[in-house]
Amino acid sequence: MSNPINVLLQTTIVPTENDWHIGRFSMLRDYLASLRAPDGSAQFYVTARDRDPVGAPDSVLSLLDRSQYDELWLFAVDTGDGLDDADREGILRFRARGGGVLVTRDHMDLGCSVCQMGSLGAAHVFHTHNIDGPVPDPDDRETPYILWPNFHSGANGDVQQVAAELPVHPVMREVTHLPAHPHEGTVVAPASDRHARVIATGKSRATGRQFNIAVAFEPAASEGPAIAESTFHHFADYNWDPRRGSPDFVTERPVYTLPEAPRAMDSVHRYVRNVALWLAGRL
């Protein structure tokens, strides 16, 4: 029997009911926990938590390199104060000892506390951080207060077709669709990191502009595998099934396409499984 992969799902906010707390990623948690190895044993052991109170290092992230976790899925849902230096250093030490890391954020400056995490932080482009060139107009015009990066891949609860960049990365095998979101962020492959490349792109339904969905960092001698992702909404309950609800500041009207599209949902699940296995070095 193989040992289960020990996964930490973690947000960068304290438990807050009217926000994107870790309970809003329960379908992701339950799906990973349901997966079985060929011998029938659990493939993943999943821990899901929000961060400790802001103003001091998080008790888990700051010491992540000393933990038993194999991989971290970090949902950066803060407005800039979700990580302190000790947390970022703990995550970087974790990756330096071979741990796998996924970091995802959202539009504009949401989640910008990840910026100072080496090349993994540099992969995330924000409105006022890591800017490369002139700032374009936002794609989504229904919420004019949400500025670039803001790519309209569809309504919450809808499905977007995604393209795998060639050569197809293992994470993108048999992945054709992901959940849509009215205003996704974007990521880039930092020129300073030869192990990074874009592996998936999407296209705005509002302007036709192409944007990067995922950047993969191949494992190296001193760093474990990592993925930078354009939006945490690819993993949120509300985007998998809007009937699960959202914070009340989400005002866009959802649709219910994904819950009624089993082939698209299979693609979403395949992506999640591929990511989880690749981050653990088992794909």
- Number of structural domains the chain divides into: 1
The predicted structure's pLDDT at residue 113: 96
Q: CA 266 from chain center: how many Å?
A: 18
What is the C-alpha to C-alpha distance for residues 67 and 59, in angstroms, rounded to an integer? 11
Domain harbouring 256, CATH code: 3.40.50.880
> Is residue 201 within 8 Å of residue 210, measured between CB atoms?
yes
* Class of residue 263 by CB neighbours under 10 A (exposed 0-12, middle 13-18, buried 19+): exposed
What is the C-alpha to C-alpha distance for residues 153 and 208, in angstroms, rounded to an integer? 10
Q: CA 193 from chain center: how many Å?
A: 20
> For residue 134, what are the CA distances in angstroms to 46, 108, 127, 148?
41, 14, 10, 11
134's CB contacts (< 8 A; 6+ apart) are: none
Q: Specify the pTM.
A: 0.97
The predicted structure's pLDDT at residue 114: 97
The predicted structure's pLDDT at residue 135: 78
The predicted structure's pLDDT at residue 234: 98
Query: pLDDT 10s digit of each residue in the chain, 283 long?
Result: 579 999 999 999 999 999 999 999 999 999 999 999 999 999 999 999 999 999 999 999 999 999 999 999 999 999 999 999 999 999 999 999 999 999 999 999 999 999 999 999 999 999 998 877 777 888 887 888 898 899 999 999 999 999 999 999 999 999 999 999 999 999 999 998 999 999 999 999 999 999 999 999 999 988 999 999 999 999 999 999 999 999 999 999 999 999 999 999 999 999 999 999 999 999 9
- Which range marks the domain in which residue 218 is found? 5-279
Q: Kind of pairing, strands 196-203 and 210-217?
A: antiparallel
User: For the stretch 230-255, what's the b/e string if a residue is b when 16 or more beta carbons lie within 10 angstroms of its beta carbon?
Assistant: bbbbbbbbbbbbbebebeeeeeeebb
